[in-house]
Amino acid sequence: MNVKFILSLLLITSSLFTYAQTDVVEKIVKEATENSHLETLAHQLLDQIGPRLVGTPEMKQANDWAVSTYKGWGIEARNEQWGEWRGWQRGISHIDLVYPRVKSLEGMQLAWNPSTSPKGVTAELISIPELSSAAEFENWLPNVKGKIVLVSMPEQTGRPDYNWEKFATPESFEKMKKDRDSQAEAWNNRIKNTGYNSRTLPEILEKSGAVGIVQSYWSKGFGVNKIFSARTKKIPTVDISLEDYGLIYRLAESGQKPKIRIIAESKELGVVPTFNTIAEIKGSEKPDEYIILSAHFDSWDGGTGATDNGTGTLTMMEALRILKIVYPNPKRTILVGHWGSEEQGLNGSRAFVEDHPEIVDKVQAVFNQDNGTGRVENISGQGFLHAYDYIGRWLQAVPEDYKKGIKTEFPGVPGGGGSDYASFVAAGAPAFSLSSLSWDYWNYTWHTNRDTYDKIVFDDLRSNAILTAILVYMASEDPETTSREKSILPINPRTGEKRTWPEPRKATRKGGLD
C-alpha cells in the first residue's frame, strides 16, 4: 500500500478525532452555561431537604431524591446499603436566659443528643474554676449537681484576625494576640488539671449530676460556630454563639447566678440502614472499565451542608446530567458515587471499595470534590508515577477559561484520609482530588452553622462542573488504560521518616450505638 496514502489516512483520522473531541467539549460548555440545573438542584437539596446527618430521615430523603432526579434524566440509579447507624432526628432548639434578665440565646442542640422534656431544663449556670489538680476537681465536682455547666473558654474578642489587622494599630493587634495566647494556655491548663479533656469532661459532669452542658466552639469568623456531636447520654448539650456565651459566662463569673432554660427536641429512631447512592451510564466499548465521579452526600447539621459537601454533590450530578445529553454512549462506564458517612471516617466509600473489588480493579480514574464552593485550583497526582501523562492529556482539552489558575503536582504523594478519594488511593486505584479555592472555607463554612445555600458561588460551581465533565469525557475516550505504578515516596518532613503507601481501612458498618 502507498506510504503517502497511509500517512494521509492517519492524518485525516486524527483530524476527525480532534474535531469530534472539540465538538463534544463545546457542547459541554454550552449545556452547562445555557441550561444549568445547579441553582434548582441546590434549592431542592439544601433548602427543601436540608442537612444530611448519617442516620437521619433527611439523609434517606436525599438518597431517594438523588435516585429520582437521575432517573428523571434517563440515568440508571440506585441506593446501595452499606451499613447501619443510630437513627436520630433533630427537632427544635430553644435556649433562653431567664435570670437575671430575659433574652433568647442563639444556639442549638448537638447531634445525637437525647431530647429534653417539652418543658425543657431550667437551671443555674456554673463554670469550671481554676484548680491545681485532679484531686481538687474531684472534690469540687458535687457542685455541678442540678446545674448547667459552661465548658468552653470565653473568647476575649469576637472579631476575626483580618478585622483586627485592618483596623487596629499594630501595637493593639499584637497585644490582643499575646493576651489571647496567654488566655488559651491558662484555659488549657485549667481543663488539663481536671484530669479530663474536652471529649471526656462532659461525661463526668453528667455522671456527677449536671443537668445540662453549654459549649461555644467558635470558628474564628463573624457569627460562626462549628457544630458536631454531643458527648452526653441523657442531659442536653448545646452550642451557643460566641456573643451569647460570653454574656452568660461573664454573668456566672461575676456572681449573678444566671439561669437559662434549654428546650431541645429530638427523636431516637432506633437502628436504621445507611446507603450510598450510585448512578451510572454504561460504557459502549469497555463497560467493565470505570470513571468514577465522587462526592460525599452526608453532612453535619449545623447548617445545611451547602459547601460540605453539597457543592461537590451538585458538581457531580450536573456533570453527569450534561454528559448524558452530549455524550450518551461513553466508551467506558461512567459511575457517580454519592457516599454516606464520610464525616465519621469515609465509611460509605470504604464500604464501596470493600464490596466492589471488580469495579475498583478496573477504575480508569476517580475524580473527587469536597472542599467548598471555589473553582478547582489544584490537582495532585496522589503518588501515581505516570499520573502526569494522562491527567496532562485530559487537561489539554479543557478550554483555558476553565483551567486557568489550576496548579498541578506530579507525582505528588498519596492522600491518607480527609476525603473519599483516599479510600480508592489506598486500594491502588488512580483517584484524584479536585481541590478548590478556599473562600474562607475552614473558618466560615466547614462544619459550621453558616454552611448554607447563600455561601455557594454558582459561577465557580459551573466552572467545576464543566471541568469535571470534560475530564470524564477525555478519560472515557482515552485509548490507553491509566497506569497504577506508584512512585517512590519521599521523606515526610514532619516525621523525618520515609512515607509509606496508605493501607485500606475497613468501614464502620454499624455506628453511633455505643
- Nearest 5°: phi and psi at 170? -55, -35
Question: Which of the listed residues 231, 257, 283 is the one where a domain comes to its end?
Answer: 257
In a domain, 343, yes or no: yes
Whether this prediction's pTM lies above 0.85 is answered by: yes
Enter the C-alpha cell of residue 407: 496548579
Predicted confidence at residue 6, as pLDDT, reads 54
CATH code of the domain containing 230: 3.50.30
What confidence category does residue 194 fall into, taking pLDDT thresholds of 50, 70 and 90? very high
Q: To the nearest whole number, what is the mean pLDDT of the chain?
A: 96
Fill in the DSSP letter of residue 384: B
Q: Does residue 325 share a domain with residue 228?
A: no
Contact status, residue 249 vs residue 223, Cβ threshold 8 Å: no
Distance of alpha carbon 498 from alpha carbon 435, whole angstroms: 25
Q: Does residue 281 share a domain with residue 141?
A: no
Domain count, the chain: 2
Q: Does residue 158 share a domain with residue 40?
A: no
Helix/strand/coil for 404: coil
- Residue-wise pLDDT for 338-397, tens only, equals 999 999 999 999 999 999 999 999 999 999 999 999 999 999 999 999 999 999 999 999
CATH code of the domain containing 467: 3.40.630.10
Distance of alpha carbon 239 from alpha carbon 449, whole angstroms: 10
Helix/strand/coil for 329: coil
Q: Does residue 437 share a domain with residue 491?
A: yes
What confidence category does residue 493 fall into, taking pLDDT thresholds of 50, 70 and 90? confident
Beta bridge partners of 337: 278, 294
In a domain, 246, yes or no: yes
Predicted confidence at residue 495, as pLDDT, reads 87
- Residue-wise pLDDT for 157-186, tens only, equals 999 999 999 999 999 999 999 999 999 999
- Residue-wise pLDDT for 223-250, tens only, equals 999 999 999 999 999 999 999 999 999 9
In a domain, 234, yes or no: yes
Predicted confidence at residue 21, as pLDDT, reads 87
Predicted confidence at residue 323, as pLDDT, reads 98
Q: Does residue 283 share a domain with residue 244?
A: no
Asked whether residue 14 carries a pLDDT value surpassing 60, the answer given is no
Asked whether residue 324 carries a pLDDT value surpassing 90, the answer given is yes
In a domain, 285, yes or no: yes
Q: Does residue 252 share a domain with residue 282?
A: no
Residues whose CB falls within 8 Å of the CB of residue 326, separated by 6 or more in sequence, listed in order: 24, 27, 28, 31
Q: Does residue 162 share a domain with residue 138?
A: yes
Helix/strand/coil for 309: helix
CA-wise closest residue to 374 among 398, 343, 406? 406
Q: Does residue 334 share a domain with residue 296?
A: yes
Range of the domain at 445: 30-87+272-511
Question: Which of the listed residues 222, 257, 292 is the one where a domain comes to its end?
Answer: 257
Fill in the DSSP letter of residue 480: S
Distance of alpha carbon 239 from alpha carbon 154, whole angstroms: 13
Contact status, residue 441 vs residue 360, Cβ threshold 8 Å: no
Percent of the chain with pLDDT over 90: 93
Predicted confidence at residue 147, as pLDDT, reads 98
Beta bridge partners of 277: 79, 338
Predicted confidence at residue 494, as pLDDT, reads 85
Q: Does residue 426 share a domain with residue 335?
A: yes
Predicted confidence at residue 514, as pLDDT, reads 77
Q: Does residue 323 share a domain with residue 242?
A: no
According to DSSP, the β-strands at 376-380 and 332-339 are unpaired
Asked whether residue 446 carries a pLDDT value surpassing 80, the answer given is yes
What confidence category does residue 334 fall into, taking pLDDT thresholds of 50, 70 and 90? very high
Distance of alpha carbon 427 from alpha carbon 364, whole angstroms: 13
Q: Does residue 278 share a domain with residue 155?
A: no
Asked whether residue 34 carries a pLDDT value surpassing 90, the answer given is yes
In a domain, 242, yes or no: yes
- The type of residue at 108 is M
In a domain, 19, yes or no: no
Beta strands in 282-373 (DSSP E): 286-296, 332-339, 363-368
Asked whether residue 414 carries a pLDDT value surpassing 60, the answer given is yes
Predicted confidence at residue 1, as pLDDT, reads 55
In a domain, 48, yes or no: yes
- The type of residue at 55 is G
Question: Which of the listed residues 201, 232, 257 is the one where a domain comes to its end?
Answer: 257
What confidence category does residue 20 fall into, taking pLDDT thresholds of 50, 70 and 90? confident
Residues whose CB falls within 8 Å of the CB of residue 297, separated by 6 or more in sequence, listed in order: 52, 59, 62, 63, 66, 276, 277, 309, 313, 338, 339, 340, 342, 348
Asked whether residue 13 carries a pLDDT value surpassing 60, the answer given is no
In a domain, 25, yes or no: no
Contact status, residue 340 vs residue 348, Cβ threshold 8 Å: yes
Q: Does residue 297 share a domain with residue 199?
A: no
- Residue-wise pLDDT for 124-147, tens only, equals 999 999 999 999 999 999 999 999
Asked whether residue 18 carries a pLDDT value surpassing 70, the answer given is no
Task: Compute the chain's Rg from CA coordinates.
Answer: 26
Q: Give mean pLDDT, residues 47-72.
A: 98
Please name the residue that has the C-alpha cell 459561577. Answer: 459
Percent of the chain with pLDDT over 70: 96
Q: For the chain, first and last CA: distance in Å?
A: 75
Predicted confidence at residue 68, as pLDDT, reads 98
Asked whether residue 9 carries a pLDDT value surpassing 70, the answer given is no
Q: Give mean pLDDT, residues 294-323.
A: 98
